[in-house]
């Protein structure tokens, strides 16, 4: 089995049937309540960030095992189910325009948990960094269009998805409570489709990140001084903007894709002087082009190592909405919800009996 960090799924269009989604939310609510009761909030977040468990969970809820829609619909159902179940875990963000509300929803829900301003800043930073890493630091040609952030007092998890620019595939990224966003930060999954991305979040690229930061903080020395202005007759790196491959110092490098806007951003970065690579990633205006340019120049000038390694695991219970591997059995689906509801009710009664017994024991001891 291949161990990696993302999952590729065929891009499916259409919407979830109206009769299915309410059932998905209902069943998700019961399962999440049981999991939280048995294992606690932290363990539940860990399971959500496990791509194999999440995939199986989506299939249990009746969605297509191989569909990109499993990600968006399942996370939406989980988000609503958590709210209804009144657990101390909340979801923020979602697909498309909803993802832009992530920070606002984190702040609103964090207030319900009475989290400190410092903790709220940590959570919003984690959300932004996870998205920025999978947008700019890991350049695998998949463009993010979905971002969901789950959190409690004790942890967080991210499930986000990107669309392949050329091809009908989506790729899902899982995160969980990491403190290091730059060194193999994702949760592991397996994937059949391998690409060759510029991967700046590996152990091998630590020196390249340091060099990129140094270059960004003094960009003129590298993007201008190695040009016609300082060395008469010398070709500038910027002169190769329209060439796919440049040959420099007997090595081959992709083109340096800088624009006027990129140079203006570099100028602002120089004035700001970011303290570390994470601050560089979070700087407004920094995207794939700037990160790629800094990485390539760091390789050219300092000879730092770049990584082109792709950081690249299913179950059925009720069938799938498209009839694969078989149509959803609505009666069985509703029975599953009812059985789990009875299990939750029974567990609560046993808990009450336990407390009654403790009270009787306490009274007996006191007497």
Q: 248 in a domain, yes or no?
A: yes
Domain of residue 43: give its range: 6-201+311-342
Q: 360 in a domain, yes or no?
A: no
* 175 lies in the same domain as 230: no
Across 63-84, average pLDDT: 82
- What residues contact 258, with CB distance under 8 A and at least 6 apart? 223, 238, 241, 289, 290, 293
Across 266-273, average pLDDT: 92
Q: Judge whether residue 365 has pLDDT over 70.
A: no
Other C-beta atoms within 10 Å of 3: how many?
10
Q: Categorise residue 86: left if φ over 0, alpha if ψ from -120 to 50, beta otherwise.
A: left
Q: What ranges in 198-329 are assigned the alpha helix state H? A: 206-217, 219-223, 260-272, 277-282, 288-302
User: What residues are paired with 142 via a beta bridge?
Assistant: 164
Q: Which of 272, 302, 332 is the last residue of a domain?
A: 302
Q: 356 in a domain, yes or no?
A: no
Q: Which of 302, 326, 352 is the last residue of a domain?
A: 302
Q: 351 in a domain, yes or no?
A: no
Q: Judge whether residue 121 has pLDDT over 70.
A: yes
Q: 361 in a domain, yes or no?
A: no
> What is the per-residue pLDDT for 330?
82
* 185 lies in the same domain as 325: yes
Across 351-363, average pLDDT: 55
> What is the per-residue pLDDT for 64?
61
- Confirm whether pTM is higher than 0.85: no
Give the count of domains, the chain. 2
Q: Distance between CA atoms of 115 and 123, rounded to whole angstroms?
A: 10
Q: Judge whether residue 274 has pLDDT over 70.
A: yes
pLDDT tens digits along 189-228: 444 566 788 999 999 999 999 999 999 998 766 664 433 3
> What is the per-residue pLDDT for 251?
40
């Amino acid at each position: 089995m291949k161990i990696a960090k993302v999952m590729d799924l065929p891009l499916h269009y259409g919407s979830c049937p109206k009769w299915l989604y309410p059932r998905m939310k209902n069943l998700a609510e019961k399962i999440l309540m049981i999991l939280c009761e048995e294992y606690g909030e932290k363990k539940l977040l860990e399971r959500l960030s496990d791509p194999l468990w999440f995939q199986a969970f989506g299939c249990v809820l009746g969605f297509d095992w191989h569909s990109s829609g499993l990600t968006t619909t399942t996370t939406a159902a989980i988000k609503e189910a958590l709210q209804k179940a009144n657990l101390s875990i909340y979801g923020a963000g979602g697909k498309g325009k909803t993802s832009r509300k992530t920070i606002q929803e984190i702040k609103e829900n964090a207030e319900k948990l009475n989290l400190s301003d410092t903790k709220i800043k940590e959570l919003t930073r984690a959300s932004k960094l996870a998205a920025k890493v999978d947008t700019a630091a890991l350049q695998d040609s998949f463009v993010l269009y979905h971002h969901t952030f789950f959190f409690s007092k004790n942890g967080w998890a991210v499930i986000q998805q990107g669309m392949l620019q050329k091809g009908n595939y989506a790729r899902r990224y899982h995160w969980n409570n990491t403190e290091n966003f730059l060194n193999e930060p994702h949760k592991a999954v397996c994937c059949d489709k391998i690409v060759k991305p510029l991967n700046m979040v590996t152990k091998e690229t630590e020196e390249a990140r340091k060099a990129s930061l140094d270059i960004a903080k003094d960009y003129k020395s590298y993007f201008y001084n190695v040009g016609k202005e300082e060395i008469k007759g010398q070709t500038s790196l910027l002169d190769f903007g329209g060439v796919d491959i440049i040959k420099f110092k007997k090595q081959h490098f992709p083109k340096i894709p800088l624009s006027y806007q990129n140079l203006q951003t570099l100028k602002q970065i120089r004035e700001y002087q970011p303290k570390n690579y994470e601050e560089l990633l979070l700087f407004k205006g920094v995207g794939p082009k700037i990160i790629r340019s800094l990485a390539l120049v760091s390789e050219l000038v300092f000879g730092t190592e770049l990584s082109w390694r792709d950081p690249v695991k299913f179950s059925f219970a009720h069938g799938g909405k498209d009839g694969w591997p078989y149509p959803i059995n609505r009666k069985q689906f509703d029975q599953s919800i009812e059985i789990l509801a009875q299990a939750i009710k029974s567990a609560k009664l046993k808990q009450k009996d336990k407390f009654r017994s403790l009270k009787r024991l306490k009274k007996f001891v006191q007497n």
